[in-house]
Structure 1
């Protein structure tokens, strides 16, 4: 009697990759228990082959090192290399860690993936790619002229470690020939800390911002447009009197990348306007890493604007695309993407749970939800491969825990306040350590200033509450709060930037006896701003500041007063439950404060049209001129 071989049980691709037990064989139409628990995409693919990610990454590093050695030994003549080859292929450019092969020719057995004509910018072929030792030429942008010496000083100073997407070996003249917008984006970002000409940032802000919006009409390769937008969104110009453009620019960045196939590296050739070969493995790594930076910058922009970002699952075209992306890019980028993905998923579930007028059951459900996502942050931390990326884990945890401030009835009983203090203090300590290592923080990107703002506002709200004397570690919290003000001094490069305004608001709220208090002096625990997700507690604190220090600005912006006195505000749809709890319709007095016959502990009743046009965030969160006298009179 013939004995048939035993057929093995099926497992999903995620479990097979991790060598974990899988029970998808019970019913392939239902995700396995492990994928359900971790919110992973559960797919069964018989053709899937497990890859050793660490071994593959090490092999890529060794391959890159061999290319660098070839470059050194070859001693190429820079005049023989066209500028078009300064990036990998087509509309690719190359992340700095994998760029050296761009200078090799076909004689080394590393044939280019795409023909030269598809790489080159429109017009005649510019000067040599690397620029040799030629000094930078003076450049003018309308009425602003930057000398060659200033350009040489400004390029690649202090900023590359936070966003390694440019090649320091390429000279400024070559960057200008490749893309004037990318060239001026580099100059604009670096000018924020250029002490030899402190007026340069202000002079360039309007012109470079206009170039950013017009860059989609450029005939330059999209890779350069993407790099320029990444720079401007990581280090945005101070707003001053201009409209806030970071949020629309982040959407444009994402769509330019998707229009050119960066979100599907293995099929990017299908998005080209001319017929080209499929990308090589190295090209796919480059595209994948640039796409990862695009997703990170876009999602951060959404979070700092109080919006729920699209996650990688919604941006992918197939269920295993995200895992393919994670397998190709550097581990530290994977960690950042996972942190942002956790924040995005948490924001979506908070929205589903409801937060406008929360019942006791909703608050209890929110607490369970937030603990679940804190557990996911713990899982990411266990898989961390780079110690220097700890900040992104701290900011992720801080963002999740900030949702606790939406609670009113269970804020103290849930035991979240001690954890909030620990997370906020750890985040501030990390930034302090970064400042000590680097000597300054003027080059800090927007995610660091936002993290400091979120942590300091959380500490401020706790320290000003009645719970501060109930066994909380207020001594460390207070020291960290004051440290934030000193760190903001190091970060500020302009009197109208976020850091300078942060100093003013934090200082005045700290000495205020009215902040987070009702008219009778009792504590006001509820958030009045409840529609901006993680941003709500920051905006709420700023509203308390405006109530006391700039009431005319609040009344003018809100537009609720008339000649006859304060008018009734419109109650947004869906707030009837909140009115039932409050007991009466609220009204505004001349200072813009809501009054009711019962203490208001729920929704801050304002017109939704006002929130729609509300333009505070990051540099735009404080719409007031900073008081210079406060910058040096701090606790």
Structure 2
């Protein structure tokens, strides 16, 4: 049985809006637009010519419009946006009055804005067509007469305008948002410590984050510094002014500020900002649902210039990359121009496809960087956007980095993604053959790319070192010894010649230098490296350590720079206290499951094992004469090492033939006491940290412990009285420096 129509066709006539006739066999509209929007029961047909019960109760304008289509979206979100906007206006009115600045289209006094808003709302009501009950009895129903708002003093806000939410939002954006900027979405802040700022363009504007305030001059200077010095390394966003950046995303704005602070001569303001930026990340990404590409860009910037951390596992960067990737997949960044097929509640941005695609490429690249550094397999595979980076991006260093990262991903998939071995590596014989082919392919790729930029060349050298370390795990192929030596010395020479402080450069450049230091340290203790290159390798480590220590002295912040400097010092001390730990069948003999980072983890194990054997690193030396034929270090200065590196790298970066047995890195090796050659401490590296005042821990002042003969070592390089599980248990229970953050008492009983 069909429902009878309550309205007759004659009542609509021919003068309906737009002259459109209703479609045939459609249900007539008897509810007002307001009730249809809220999806509630309406009695407009019964109450005609008066307003419906709900509109009369709420003092709303009751209109029955068959052509009205309810807008999609959350009404609660719109209401929260209005409340947040009113709070901002209250804060603007509460501020002390200042001399009126020069009127600009962007800067309008708050009181003038309120008056203009009231005037526009009054004009909007006057534009509503008068009711005509003769021709439109059900189209426009009766509504209570509207009275304009009474005048209010400047210290009070007018009452909430009785207008639809869409009209209010359009008026606010039309008055407060410059026409040349992209549309923005204002999200409410639900924290107990809100992030407040004044969006006025006057010179007295300030930006505040949980009590840390930056004035307008400081913000402009930091913004300019970020655009000129940082953004070229990671060109994933476009920003013209800090005001625009703040309107786009508060997290992105404060990320730019805290990143640019890393170029300051002292870290005072940086230390004030970065804890609050961490809290802002939690609030933006966990407490709320991010729907903006700007949030992804902020996470990528923080992963490129990491926040301070004491341990490797305390570093947020790898987790931020995973978070950025998950958000990007939900927003459709991996699908390029198909953004319309994903969520419609995303924040709009100018040239969205370009910046969304670059952000996805940066996610892929940074995941390769951090996975190779931590020894983890990457989970993101190269897709069409990555493979077409040469055509999607202009000819600059970021395009080269993306192409090299795709090559690095292929390297890991071929060598370190075995489904049949527990350590993930393919058998050694097959691995060597694959590495030889990949090494030749990398030579061809290098000839096609422009590696003149230091950032691109250092990432290329990092892949060179990865190939070499893969060949060192489980054996030593002499074909890759000189490749590792040349790449490592060149990387150190590049970093030591950079003009700005190290914290300003992206993480892959710093990681490459640290990787080079560990490779050179291990090579100079290996018999596979020719003796004439030993001093050059030592000089490179000395120069890099001096660069890092100088940075730590002027920038006392816990990060990867201070951590690798401490690792080199501990390794230098271990040469004196426990040289037998370096006597292994190969370069990498104890660690296998950390891919190309196995060398670094093995050196960390050596440090902890030496501390365990010496009673937690507090063994006392009694004499420097009982060196047992060990080479004693000469006092090599950092300046001579840097000068030698500069001279050695001037001829195209090839330092293979620059070092000799007597003159390699700017210093000569001291003669052995008994004519034999052995492991010697790195020249010039003396422990001077205030946290270890024991002078007996310095090189040349420690007693050499009894040396275990070579035949007493098993296949793993351990003494026969200790098993592998015992060694790992002692490592976990060590009392010395925990570089990795693995010393967790809750995990100890499991071993």
TM-score class, shorter-chain normalisation, is 0.5 to 0.7
Tell me the equivalent position of 1:474: 534
Separation (CA, whole Å) in 2 of partners of 1:445 and 1:249: 16
Q: Structure 2: which 5+ runs fail to align? A: 1-103, 109-176, 190-195, 618-704, 744-751
The 1:300–1:256 alpha-carbon spacing in structure 2 relative to 1, beyond 3 Å, is same
Tell me the equivalent position of 1:235: 305
Separation (CA, whole Å) in 1 of partners of 2:589 and 2:578: 9
- State the Cα deviation string for residues 566-594 of structure 1 (Å, max 9, x = none): xxxxxxxxxxxxxxxxxxxxxxxxx9x99
Tell me the equivalent position of 2:278: 209
Q: Structure 1: which 5+ runs fail to align? A: 1-75, 81-101, 106-111, 556-590, 626-635
Tell me the equivalent position of 1:395: 462
Q: What SS does the aligned partner of 2:255 have?
A: helix
Separation (CA, whole Å) in 1 of partners of 2:582 and 2:602: 20
Q: Is the 8 A contact 1:308 1:344 kept in 2?
A: no
Tell me the equivalent position of 2:172: none
Tell me the TM-score normalized by structure 2. 0.53
2:442 aligned with 1:377, yes or no?
A: yes
Separation (CA, whole Å) in 2 of partners of 1:138 and 1:175: 12
Tell me the equivalent position of 1:273: 344
| 1:254 to partner: Cα distance | 0.8
- State the Cα deviation string for residues 157-188 of structure 1 (Å, max 9, x = none): 232232233445212x4433332222222222
Q: Is the 8 A contact 1:213 1:249 kept in 2?
A: no
2:564 aligned with 1:496, yes or no?
A: no
Once the two structures are overlaid, the 10-residue window that deviates more, 155-164 or 396-405, is 155-164
Q: Is the 8 A contact 2:417 2:424 kept in 1?
A: no
Tell me the equivalent position of 2:487: 423
- State the Cα deviation string for residues 247-299 of structure 1 (Å, max 9, x = none): 2221111111121111111212211325999x99x543332222111221222
The 1:548–1:145 alpha-carbon spacing in structure 2 relative to 1, beyond 3 Å, is farther
Q: Is the 8 A contact 1:335 1:384 kept in 2?
A: yes
Tell me the equivalent position of 1:155: 223
- State the Cα deviation string for residues 341-379 of structure 1 (Å, max 9, x = none): 2222222332346777899x9322221121222222222
Tell me the equivalent position of 2:671: none
Tell me the equivalent position of 2:293: 223
Q: What SS does the aligned partner of 2:471 have?
A: helix
- State the Cα deviation string for residues 471-510 of structure 1 (Å, max 9, x = none): 5522332222222112323554334222122222213423
The 1:415–1:212 alpha-carbon spacing in structure 2 relative to 1, beyond 3 Å, is same
| 1:420 to partner: Cα distance | 1.0
Q: Is the 8 A contact 2:185 2:347 kept in 1?
A: no
Q: Is the 8 A contact 1:135 1:148 kept in 2?
A: yes
Tell me the equivalent position of 1:306: 375
**Aligned counterpart in structure 1 of residue 260 of structure 2, from 190, 208, 215:** 190
2:314 aligned with 1:250, yes or no?
A: no
The 1:553–1:456 alpha-carbon spacing in structure 2 relative to 1, beyond 3 Å, is farther
Aligned positions of 1:68-147 closer than 5 A: 119-122=184-187, 134=203, 136-141=205-210, 143-147=211-215
Q: Is the 8 A contact 1:265 1:284 kept in 2?
A: yes
Separation (CA, whole Å) in 1 of partners of 2:288 and 2:582: 60
Separation (CA, whole Å) in 2 of partners of 1:304 and 1:620: 18
Q: Is the 8 A contact 1:356 1:530 kept in 2?
A: no
Separation (CA, whole Å) in 2 of partners of 1:600 and 1:355: 22
Separation (CA, whole Å) in 2 of partners of 1:264 and 1:339: 21
2:517 aligned with 1:446, yes or no?
A: no
The 1:337–1:276 alpha-carbon spacing in structure 2 relative to 1, beyond 3 Å, is closer
Which structure carries more helix by proportion? Answer: 1
| 1:79 to partner: Cα distance | 6.2
Separation (CA, whole Å) in 2 of partners of 1:357 and 1:310: 17
Separation (CA, whole Å) in 2 of partners of 1:295 and 1:394: 19
Q: What SS does the aligned partner of 1:464 have?
A: coil
Q: What SS does the aligned partner of 2:209 have?
A: strand
Larger Rg belongs to:
2
- State the Cα deviation string for residues 286-316 of structure 1 (Å, max 9, x = none): 3222211122122222222211113433xx4
Separation (CA, whole Å) in 2 of partners of 1:352 and 1:446: 25
Separation (CA, whole Å) in 2 of partners of 1:552 and 1:460: 22
Q: What SS does the aligned partner of 2:323 have?
A: helix
2:219 aligned with 1:164, yes or no?
A: no
Q: Is the 8 A contact 1:300 1:447 kept in 2?
A: yes
Tell me the equivalent position of 1:181: 251
The 1:134–1:298 alpha-carbon spacing in structure 2 relative to 1, beyond 3 Å, is farther
2:371 aligned with 1:327, yes or no?
A: no
Tell me the equivalent position of 1:37: none
The 1:123–1:174 alpha-carbon spacing in structure 2 relative to 1, beyond 3 Å, is farther
- State the Cα deviation string for residues 66-94 of structure 1 (Å, max 9, x = none): xxxxxxxxxx96569xxxxxxxxxxxxxx
| 1:224 to partner: Cα distance | 1.6
Query: Please, what is the CA RMSD of the aligned residues?
Result: 4.4
Separation (CA, whole Å) in 2 of partners of 1:159 and 1:268: 28
Aligned positions of 1:38-57 closer than 5 A: none
Separation (CA, whole Å) in 2 of partners of 1:168 and 1:211: 21
2:608 aligned with 1:539, yes or no?
A: no
Separation (CA, whole Å) in 2 of partners of 1:288 and 1:454: 30
The 1:602–1:506 alpha-carbon spacing in structure 2 relative to 1, beyond 3 Å, is same
Separation (CA, whole Å) in 2 of partners of 1:257 and 1:375: 35
Separation (CA, whole Å) in 2 of partners of 1:620 and 1:211: 28
